[in-house]
Amino acid sequence: DQQVKQNSPSLSVQEGRISILNCDYTNSMFDYFLWYKKYPAEGPTFLISISSIKDKNEDGRFTVFLNKSAKHLSLHIVPSQPGDSAVYFCAASVGGSQGNLIFGKGTKLSVKP
């Protein structure tokens, strides 16, 4: 049973436009959410995170929104750049500092010039 779901395997966006990547979760005990970016032949790298006590966190071009009632979070990238083309993983944790990360299957983002 997948606790973290990324239902879109891929997304294609034009350079300069907004990219919206979605993630749904089933475990209401998750209290921390993170997004990772992965380029081919590299390990995932941390992008941005949000605690369950917040509904928005922003870092430069990246904003994560959390809707706890819907058990849904999204990552917005504005404006999208070709270098953002990568696989994006949503991850969630129970237990904050002690919990392990449960990852979704990832969404491959392609940003076209």
Partner 1 sequence: DSGVTQTPKHLITATGQRVTLRCSPRSGDLSVYWYQQSLDQGLQFLIQYYNGEERAKGNILERFSAQQFPDLHSELNLSSLELGDSALYFCASSRGGAIYGYTFGSGTRLTVV
Q: Which residue has the tokens 């966190």?
A: 57
Residue whose entry in the numeric block shows the structure tokens 């973290």: 4
Q: x/- site string to partner 1, residues 29 to 68, per CB under 8 A?
A: ---x-x-x----xxxxxx--x-x-----------------
Identify which of residues 69 and 97 has a Cβ nearer to partner 1 in the complex.
97
DSSP-derived letter for residue 50 is: E
CB of 41 to partner 1, least distance (A): 7
Cα torsion for 46, 85, 77, 69, to the nearest 10°? -70
Q: Which residues bind to partner 1, rule: CB under 8 A?
A: 4, 6, 32, 34, 36, 41-46, 49, 51, 89, 91, 93, 95-106
